[in-house]
Chain A
Amino acid sequence: MASSQPDTSADDALEQELASLIVEALRLEILPGQIDPQSALFGEGLGLDSIDMLEIALLVSKRYGVELRSENKAALASLRALADHIGRHRIR
Chain B
Amino acid sequence: MRLLVFITLWAGRPVARGLLYPICSYFLLFSGGAQRTSREYLRRILQRPPSWKDVFRHFHAFASTIHDRVYLLSGRHRYFDIRTEGAAALQAVLAQKRGCILLGSHLGSFEVLRAQGMFDHNLPITVIMHEAAASNLNGVLHGLRPEIRDRIIPPGTADTMLAVKERLERGEIVGILGDRLFNEEKGMACEFLGQSRRFPEGPFLLAALLQVPIVLFFGLYQGGRRYNLYFEPLVDHIEMSSDRRSDMLRPWIERYVSRLEHYCRLSPYNWFNFYELAEHARPSRPAV
* Chain A positions near chain B (C-beta within 8 angstroms): 26-27, 41-43, 49-51, 53-55, 57-58, 68-70, 73, 76-77
Contact = CB atoms under 8 A, between A and B. Distances in A.
A58 B206 CA distance: 12
Contacts of A68: 162
B209 interface: yes
Given A51-B161, A76-B159, 14 more contacts: A49-B156, A49-B185, A50-B159, A51-B209, A53-B158, A53-B159, A53-B161, A54-B162, A54-B165, A54-B209, A54-B210, A70-B162, A70-B166, A73-B162
A19 to B, nearest CB: 17
Contacts of A51: 161, 202, 205-206, 209
15 contacts: A42-B158, A43-B158, A50-B156, A50-B158, A50-B160, A50-B161, A51-B161, A51-B202, A53-B160, A53-B161, A54-B164, A54-B206, A68-B162, A69-B166, A73-B162
Interface of B: 155-166, 184-186, 202, 205-206, 209-210, 288
B155 A50 contact: yes
Contact of B159 (A27, A49, A55, A73): A73
Contacts of B159: 50, 53, 70, 73, 76
Contacts of B166: 69-70
A34 B184 CA distance: 22
A70 B154 CA distance: 13
Nearest to B155: A50
Contacts of B156: 49-50
A55 B209 contact: yes
